């Protein structure tokens, strides 16, 4: 029979506790305001679009939206030629987030794009895009019609 020393047990407990502490969300992350969470998620979604990762961007859609919009249908909304290797969007910034309650927020995104049409190849355009984000099942999601 092997008997472990008190020192060995203390070290094992310390290692286990430090490992478990890394697995739990920090209190700061749990206490974030909806505006902060939505701003981060909206930015992440646009980063996926700028990488032409439509599946990644689709992951930010509300579960209720996904019941009526397939991943392929979502991708087709953008009318991007599958041969394109560069996204038309070159910059996306959150300009404002206004949460009307704890279940919905309106986000205004500033988006710059570069035309891929040969005649207008170096022409950049910008637009303000309004998005609606909703809280469902403990997470914030993009709601689109």
Q: Domain-by-domain residue ranges, the chain?
A: 33-143
Q: What integer pLDDT is reported at residue 119 of this predicted model?
A: 77
- Over residues 66-93, the mean pLDDT reads 85
Q: What integer pLDDT is reported at residue 82 of this predicted model?
A: 67
Mean pLDDT for the chain overall: 80
Confidence band of 80 (pLDDT split at 50, 70, 90): confident
In this prediction the pTM is: 0.74
Q: Which CATH number fits domain 33-143: 3.10.450.100, 1.10.287.70, 2.40.50.140, 3.40.718.10?
A: 3.10.450.100
Q: What is the share, in percent, of the chain residues with pLDDT greater than 70? A: 76
Q: What integer pLDDT is reported at residue 83 of this predicted model?
A: 67
- Over residues 87-112, the mean pLDDT reads 94
Who has greater pLDDT, 8 or 19? 8
Please list, in sequence order, all residues whose beta carbon lies within 8 angstroms of the beta carbon of residue 128, skipping any fewer than 6 positions away.
Answer: 95, 108, 109, 110, 111
């Amino acid at each position: 029979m092997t008997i472990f020393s008190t020192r060995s047990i203390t070290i094992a407990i310390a290692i286990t506790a430090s490992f478990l502490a890394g697995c739990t969300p920090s209190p700061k992350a749990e206490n974030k305001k909806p505006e902060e969470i939505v701003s981060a998620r909206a930015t992440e979604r646009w980063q996926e679009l700028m990488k032409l990762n439509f599946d990644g961007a689709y992951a930010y859609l509300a579960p209720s939206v996904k019941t009526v919009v397939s991943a392929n249908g979502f991708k087709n909304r953008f009318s991007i030629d599958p041969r394109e290797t560069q996204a038309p969007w070159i910059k996306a910034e959150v300009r404002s987030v206004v949460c009307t309650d704890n279940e919905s927020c309106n986000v205004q995104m500033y988006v710059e794009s570069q035309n891929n049409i040969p005649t207008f190849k170096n022409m950049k355009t910008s637009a303000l895009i309004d998005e609606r984000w909703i809280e469902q099942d403990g997470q914030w999601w993009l709601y689109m019609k």
